[in-house]
Amino acid sequence: MARKTNKSDLAPVLAAAKHWIDRCLVGDQSLFFDEVLWTEANAAELQQHFVENPDESDLSFLNKLPNQLAAATPAAQQLMAEIFWAIRLFPTTPKAPTKRAQFLQVWQLCGRPLVHEHPMLSSAALDGIGSAGTAYLTGPWREIAFLIKALLQLKLLSREERAALFASNDKLSPWLEALVEKGERQFTHILRYFAFPDTIERISSGPEKKKILRGFGVPFSNSWTALQVDQALLELRHKQEAEHPGLVLDFYDPPLDTKWKKPKAPKGDAEAEDDADDVEPNDVLEEPSPSPTEPDQATNRIFYGPPGTGKTHRLRELFPRYTETPAAKNRDAWLEALVAGCGWREVIAAALSQLGPSAVPALRNQELIRAKARQRSTDKNLGARLWGTLQRHTPLNVQTVNFGLRAEPFIFSKDEESTWSLLLDWTVRDEEASKLATDYLAGQKSAPPVKRYRAVTFHPSYCYEDFVRGIRPVSTEEDGRTEFRLVDGVFKQICDEARANPTKRYALFIDEINRGNIAKIFGELITLIEPDKRITVAPDGTVTGGMTVQLPGSNTGEVAEPPFGVPANLDLYGTMNTADRSIALLDIALRRRFEFVEMPPLTNATVFPASVDGVDRGALLRRINDRLEYLLDRDHRIGHAYLMKAKSLADLRSAFANQIIPLLQEYFFDDLGKVALVLTGANGRSEFVEKKDLRHADLFPGDTSRNTTASRHRYEVTPPGTWTAEHFQEIYATATAVEDTEDEAAS
C-alpha cells in the first residue's frame, strides 16, 4: 500500500509513529520514559503558556520558545519537546541529524538528561515520510497549537474510547475535522496516515489530494469530507495496482506522477526536497509573513436596536465601500455592470455592432458576451444560448434559419455560411440594444459608478423563491405573452457576480431581517453563509475550497449547472428593529451565523450639540427612554433620529405629534394613559395627553336606572399648538445632573 516508495522503506518511521500513538495518545505515557506525561493537565499548561502567550518578536521559533515556556513546569516543557518530535516526524526536510539537533534544543528546556542514542531519535526513525511543504516547516506553531487542542479534547475520553478512535478511520477522520475551525491543518492528514498507512496516502495536503483525483479524472465535490477524499484515493490506488501488477506504486513517482503533476514539479511536492541541501536548525523556523493573496474573512453582521437609532443609515454608510468610480474599477467590472440589466438579445446585438458580421465562435470571445457569461455562470452552454437567442430574433423570411419560436424584435440575420449580422434598422427595432451599444462605444470613462452590492427588505411574505431561486411569470415579448421560468433571486444574483470577480468584495444589505421567516427564506443555504463554509474561487473560475450544494432546478437542463456556493468575497449585513421582535426570538440558526452590533439611542452632545428653544433634546430623550425601559423593556426605547432634525419648537411639536406619540400608542396598544405617564412632568401632570371625565349624569340626564354618580374617563392628545418649551422641559426636570453626566460618559 502506502508503506513503501521506490526510494525508501517507510517502515521504521511508521513503527515510531505507531509507538507514539499507542503510548502517548491512546495512553498517557512519555515517549522516552516510563512515566505519565501526555495528560490533560500538562496540555492545559501548554495552552496557557504557549498558545495563549504568543511572541510577536522577530526571533525564530526556537529562540522564542524559552521565553514563552519560562514559567511552565518541567513536565509541560518536556511535553512540548515530545510534541515537537511528533510534528517533525513526517517531513523529509530537514534531514535526520538536523531534526535531532532541533529536538534536543527544545528538550533542554526541561533540564532533564536524555540518551541521544534513544531508538526514537535514530536516523531511521527520523528519516521522514514525504514533504509537508514550506508553510508546515516555517510555521510549526500552527500545527503544535492544533495538536495541543486535539490533546485537550482527546484526554477527556476514556482510554477505551481513545483506542476505538484510533482503530477506525471512520471515527478518527470526522473527529479531527471537527477540531479545525478555519482553513486546513496539515497534521490532520499526517496523523490519519500514521494511524492507517494501509488505507491513507502519504499526502499531507488536502488540496494536493484533490489535485491527484482531478489529474486522474476522478469526479469529486469540493464539499466532500476528508474521509470521502481518502476513500476515493484508495479506490484509485486499487485501480492503478490492477493496471500495474508487481510495481511499487506511489503518486509522487512514475508512472503515476505524470498523470497529475506538471512537467516541472513545484516546490513542496513530496519528493522535491530530496536533492535539497540540509539546513541549520533555525533556518527553517522563521515565521513567514501572511500571504497577501489570502482572501479576507467574510463579514456577517446585523445592526440591531430600537426604532430611530440609525440602523438603516449605518447600512447606507457602507455603500461607498462596495462602490467603484470609473477611475478605480477595472474593465471586467465595468463590463459586468454594463450588461447587468440587459438580456442576451441586447448583449449579442451590441457585440455584433462592434464585431461586424461574425460566426458564433467569434461571438463567444467578444468581451461583452464573456462578461454576461461570467455574470450568469453559463460558460458550459454558452454556445447553445447564443444560437437560441440569434435564431429567436431572426425574421421569418430568413430561410437559412429553421427555428419555429421566433419573436419580435427581429434584428438578426444569417447567411449560407452561418455568419450572423444585424439588420439595417436594428437600432430602431431594439432601443435597449441600441442604448447598450452606444454606452459600450462611449467607453469606460462615461459609465456610472459600479455598485458591487444589492439591497433588499424582508417582510412576512418574502420567501426562498424571491431570495434564491423560483418559478415566476416573465414577460418575454412585446405582444404581452408571459412565460413561467426559473428566475434567480437577489441572493443568487449577487453570489454569481461575486464569484465572477473574486478579487473584489461584494455585499448584500438586508433591511428588517427579523421580519422575514429566516428558515423559509434561506432554506438549505443557511449553512453556506457561514464564513468557514464560503467557497474560494481561483482567477480562472475554479472553486478551490468551501461547501457547495446543487440548487433546485440546476440539473434539469441539457447541461447541469455547477454546484452553488456562497463566495468568500460576499459580505452580508442586516438591520433588526428590536421593537418588532426581540432578539431572543430570532431564528437561532441565524443568530449563531451573524455577529450582532447594538445601535442604542444616543443622547450625547455630539448628536444633540445645542438646545432647541431652551429644550435639551438629549435629556428629554433620555428621560422618556428610562420610563419606557421601566414600563416595558429596553427594546422598546425610541431612537435619537426622531429628534435630530428638530431645529425649532415647531419641529419638536411636529416630531412628537406625528411620530413619537403615535409610536408610544403602538407600544402601549393605544392605552393613552400609559402614554401620558411617559410624558408626565415634574408636577405629575402631562400637558401632551389630557384626561377627561365621562360622567353618567352629564351624558344621560334624567336616567335614574343606574348609578348616576359613577364616572369613567378617557385620554386625548392635546393640540400640538399648545405645547410650549416649558412643557417639554418639565418632562426631564427631575433628572439629576449626576444621571446626565453618567449617560454622557457612557455614550
pLDDT for 314: 85
Q: Quick one: 706 exposed, middle or buried, by C-beta within 10 A (0-12, 13-18, 19+)?
A: exposed
**650 and 564 together in one domain:** no
pLDDT of residue 185: 86
Pick the residue with more confidence: 732 or 285?
A: 732
What percent of the chain lies above the pLDDT cut of 70? 85
Report helix, strand or coil for 711: strand
What is the C-alpha to C-alpha distance for residues 621 and 603, in angstroms, rounded to an integer?
Answer: 7
Q: Indicate whether 436 and 525 sit together in one domain.
A: no
- Residue at which a domain ends, from 448, 481, 514: 448
- Residue 1 included in any domain: no
Total Cβ atoms within 10 A of residue 505: 20
Pair 204, 274 in one domain = yes
Q: How many residues does the chain have?
A: 747
Compute the distance between CA of residue 123 and CA of residue 100 in angstroms, rounded to an integer.
8
Q: Are residues 421 and 462 in the same domain?
A: no
The C-alpha atoms of residue 30 and residue 118 are separated, in whole angstroms, by 13
Dihedral sign of CA atoms 288, 292, 294, 297 in order: positive
Higher pLDDT, 7 or 558: 7
Q: Domain ends where: 599, 626, 661? A: 599
pLDDT tens digits for range 116-128: 788 999 988 998 9
Range from 166-180, 298-312, 318-332, 481-495 carrying the lowest mean pLDDT: 318-332
Q: What is the mean pLDDT of residues 18-25?
A: 94
Same domain, 439 and 301: no
Among 448, 477, 507, give the residue marking a domain's end. Answer: 448
| Model pLDDT for residues 644-667, shown as the tens digit of each residue | 889 999 999 999 999 999 999 999
Within a domain: 2: no
pLDDT-derived band at 693 (thresholds 50, 70, 90) equals confident
Specify the higher pLDDT residue, 54 or 591: 54
Same domain? 217 vs 254: yes
Extract the C-alpha cell encoding 576: 433588526
Give CA–CA dist 351/709, Å, rounded: 88
Residue 6 included in any domain: no
Claim to verify: residue 578 and residue 631 sit in the same structural domain: no
Tell me the per-residue pLDDT of 190-221, one tens digit each, with 9 for 90 and over.
999 999 998 999 998 888 888 898 888 888 88
| Mean pLDDT for the chain overall | 82
Retrieve residue 21's grid coordinates. Answer: 500513538
| Mean pLDDT, residues 479-493 taken together | 77
**Residue 70 one-letter amino acid:** A
Q: pLDDT digits over 266-293, tens only?
A: 333 333 333 333 333 333 333 333 333 3
> What digits encode the pLDDT tens for the residues 540-564?
677 888 888 888 776 655 445 778 8
Q: Are residues 627 and 490 in the same domain?
A: no
In a domain, 612, yes or no: no
What SS3 state is found at 698?
helix
pLDDT at site 278: 34
Residue 739 confidence class, pLDDT cut points 50, 70, 90: very low
pLDDT of 138-152, one tens digit each?
A: 778 889 999 999 999
Give bridge partners of residue 413 from the DSSP assignment.
421
22 and 157 both lie in a single domain: yes
Q: Is residue 611 part of a domain?
A: no
Residue 27 domain-assigned (yes or no): yes
> Picking from 67-71, 194-198, 736-740, which range would have the lowest pLDDT averaged per residue?
736-740
Question: Using omega within 30 degrees of 0 as the cis cutoff, is the peptide bond preceding 255 cis?
Answer: yes
Q: How many domains, the chain?
A: 4
Q: Are 221 and 561 in contact (CB under 8 A)?
A: no
Report the CATH number at residue 540: 3.40.50.300
Mean pLDDT of 489-495: 90
Q: 728-731 — which CB contacts under 8 Å span 24+ positions?
A: 728/615, 728/620, 728/652, 729/614, 729/615, 729/616, 730/681, 730/682, 730/683, 730/687, 731/620, 731/623, 731/624, 731/679, 731/680, 731/681
* Same domain, yes or no: 306 and 373: no
Q: Is residue 169 in some structural domain?
A: yes
**pLDDT, mean of residues 561-581:** 86
Whether residues 429 and 491 fall in one domain: no
Query: Hey, is 550 helix, strand or coil?
Result: coil
Q: 338 falls in which pLDDT band (50, 70, 90)?
A: confident
* 265 and 281 within one domain: yes
* Segments forming the whole domain that contains residue 728: 617-746
In a domain, 217, yes or no: yes
Residue type, 636: H
